[in-house]
Amino acid sequence: MRWIALESAEQIKNIQQNPGYTIIFKHSTRCSISMMAKRKFELDWDELPEDISLYFLDLIRYRELSNQIASDFHVHHESPQLLLIKDGECILDQSHSGISVEEAMSVL
């Protein structure tokens, strides 16, 4: 699996229009907790379906996109944060040590 860098509002619009599942991982490059959550997620991400898109947002660099995600998907901003999107709607919102592939898989 590979991350897709989330760097534009156009990508968010595409995620909202995408049929099926998408994951957005919001990551603070300055936070050790965020680094650990990202690493833990990456260790297990091979369990995810191959056709799921994995977007990675550097929220320090793209804070305005992080705010747009919170608004568009009706979630409270967290860091780190994982959102599971289905057919344009957020169906799972995880943050900090609660981020896990196992729970995402239970919702898929």
Q: Give the global pTM.
A: 0.94
> What H or E segment, with its residue span, contains residue 81?
strand 81-86
Helix axes 9-17, 63-72, angle to 10 degrees: 30
Dist. CA 74–CA 47, nearest whole Å: 27
Find the domain containing 32 and state its range: 4-107
| pLDDT digit string (tens) for the chain, length 108 residues | 899 999 999 999 999 999 999 999 999 989 999 999 999 999 999 999 999 999 999 999 999 999 999 999 999 988 899 999 999 999 999 998 889 999 899 988
pLDDT at position 75 is 95
CATH of the domain at 32: 3.40.30.10
Number of domains in the chain: 1
R_g (Cα) of the chain, nearest Å? 12
